[in-house]
Amino acid sequence: MTELRSNPGLAAARHITPSVQRLLDRLVDAPVAVSDAAMTLLLANPMYGALLGDLSGLRGLERNDAWRCFMGVPTRVRHTPEERRACEVGMVSQLRRTAARYPADRQLRRLIGELRTSSERFAELWDAGAVGRFEAWHKTIEHPQVGLLTLDCDLLPLEESDLYILVYSAEPGTGAAEKLELISVVGTQSLVE
């Protein structure tokens, strides 16, 4: 598991215990990431990078899922319009809950302020008091080497912390499982010369 540098703030809520690290180290065959309550990526294993693209170079706000979503940063995840709307509402709601728990966190206030001034959609949802849940049931991903694959996506909250483990998996014996296995072999290599 490769640790991405985290921003200061929410420091206590970003601590990954040794037992959680051991759990993550055992999940090498599945794309796995850990995010904080503000949806900022803290850790990602190599399979996660192979599936969704190399994230190790992300810095600052780029590591935040909501920022990437509302700023229109290209992603391999494909949403229907309905899924996109539900995702946006869920992200705004999650940031609102996190801001209520950590009202003095400067990084979080900066993120929300940046989103409100730079994204009309975020500002509209924020100002309207949009309420929803930040959930992940399945995701369709367009991978450059294997094409489209739809995976189960589980968002697991860690007890007594504000961390979330995101795990992608496929039902055994399916085309998605075969494609995920191929991605584990290919990794982040490019098949085009």
Note whether residue 64 is domain-resident.
yes
Alpha helices in the chain (DSSP H): 18-26, 46-52, 65-70, 81-101, 106-118, 120-128, 175-186
CATH number of the domain encompassing residue 92: 3.30.450.180
Which segment of 20-24, 74-78, 99-103, 189-193 scores lowest on mean pLDDT? 189-193
Which conformational region is residue 114 in: left (phi greater than 0), alpha (psi within -120 to 50 degrees), or beta?
alpha
Note whether residue 148 is domain-resident.
yes
| Percentage of the chain exceeding pLDDT 70 | 89
Note whether residue 192 is domain-resident.
no
Q: What is the CA radius of gyration of the chain?
A: 17
Note whether residue 20 is domain-resident.
no
Note whether residue 21 is domain-resident.
no
Note whether residue 144 is domain-resident.
yes
pLDDT tens track for 121-144: 999 999 998 787 766 678 999 999
Taking the model in full, what pTM does it have?
0.84
**Among 35, 34, 36, residue whose Cα is nearest residue 10:** 36
* Number of independent structural domains in the chain: 1
Instruction: Find the length of the chain.
Output: 193
Largest CA distance in the chain: 50
Confidence (pLDDT) at 19: 80
Note whether residue 181 is domain-resident.
yes
Give the side-chain half-sphere CA count within 13 A for 74.
4
- The band of 193, judged by pLDDT with boundaries at 50, 70 and 90, is very low
Can you give the residue range of the structural domain that contains 55? 2-11+31-186
Note whether residue 68 is domain-resident.
yes
pLDDT tens track for 81-120: 999 999 999 999 999 999 999 999 999 999 999 999 999 9
